[in-house]
Amino acid sequence: MRHVMLLTTGGTIASTTSESGKLVAGELSGEELAKLCGLPEDIRVSVRSVLQKPSVHITLADWLLLKREVERAFEDETINGIVVTHGTDTLEETAYFLDLTNKDERPIIVTGSQRGPEQTGSDAFINLRHAIYAACEPDLKHTGCVVVFNERIFAARYVKKEHASNLQGFNAFGFGYLGIIDNDVIFTYQKPVRREFYEIGNTPLKQIGIAKVYLGMSADMLEGMIAVCDGMVVEGVGRGQVPPNLVATLERAVANKKPIIVTTASEEGKVYPTYDYKGSAHQLEQMGVILGSDYDSKKARIKAMVMLAANKELAAGFM
């Protein structure tokens, strides 16, 4: 018999409906959620409630707690894989954090729902069912952490929430999905060519901020953000450009040993030193700013936090 560990953290998938008709996220425990789902009889599901929160309430300390629960679950050799239920608002972030900090070959599946279990047309039960099947799938070994949503399987590295409310809530722009689930059968079409793992133990994660630049952005605003962070991801435009008035602020930050990573706001393509003018990625790189390849700003932030906790050189992680 296959064996799956279900770790629940709350979110819409574990929500109830209040008297006003609004959703109250994270109200159902893991045990309650499992009872409401038509779980397959040939799979044993163990349930552990880790958190009961809306996903926007999850903290960096909660990530470390969840990581420890994953490690604890994988100590059981009978476990085929782990399913983590999660609110959709920050699901992609938690999935990537788990992807970077888990070295076990067995899959971690993160899923959630856009509609609560009590709402008409809820996707809660089918997403959970599919995630449980995916956690048992031999083809998903060595794939790391993946997101299962609306019959599709996505790599944590590239998945993004693409719609605020539609059942097709997640996508991986430019890369597509790894596979599909059709009538409870997993079809895997592609897998990541390499995995990354960083040993961070229980090291607290540093505060890395995100600044999205735009035409006319104030340098004082950026400087204020950098002042309260241990480092900054600057989401530039195009190939990684920023307005010229921000250059001096970024140069001072680098001189003060605060890591600065520049990414692009574009959905596809990577940061590259194509141009030679003030504020270009080329100039920023010459100053010591790290070029963030094709990472979006949230994923770059997570990778920077994990790498710093593991005492790794950041520049090497964004080649």
- The sheet with strand 179-182 has its strands ordered as 43-53, 2-10, 81-85, 108-111, 145-149, 152-155, 179-182, 185-188
188 is catalytic: no
Q: Which two tokens stand for residue 94?
A: 């938690």
Give the integer Cα–Cα distance in Å for 140 and 82: 12
Q: Kindly state the DSSP code that residue 234 receives in the 8-state scheme.
A: E
Nearest to 261 by CA among 314, 222, 182, 215: 314
Nearest to 236 by CA among 257, 217, 208: 217
Scanning the chain, the segments in alpha helix (DSSP H) are 30-36, 60-74, 91-101, 124-135, 219-227, 247-255, 281-287, 297-309, 314-317
Scanning 191-291, the segments in alpha helix (DSSP H) are 219-227, 247-255, 281-287
Length of the chain: 319
Nearest to 246 by CA among 214, 218, 274, 227: 218
Which of 12, 88, 249, 263 is flagged as catalytic?
12
Give the integer Cα–Cα distance in Å for 111 and 8: 10
Give the integer Cα–Cα distance in Å for 161 and 317: 24
Nearest to 308 by CA among 183, 168, 207, 190: 207
Which residues are marked as active site? Answer: 12
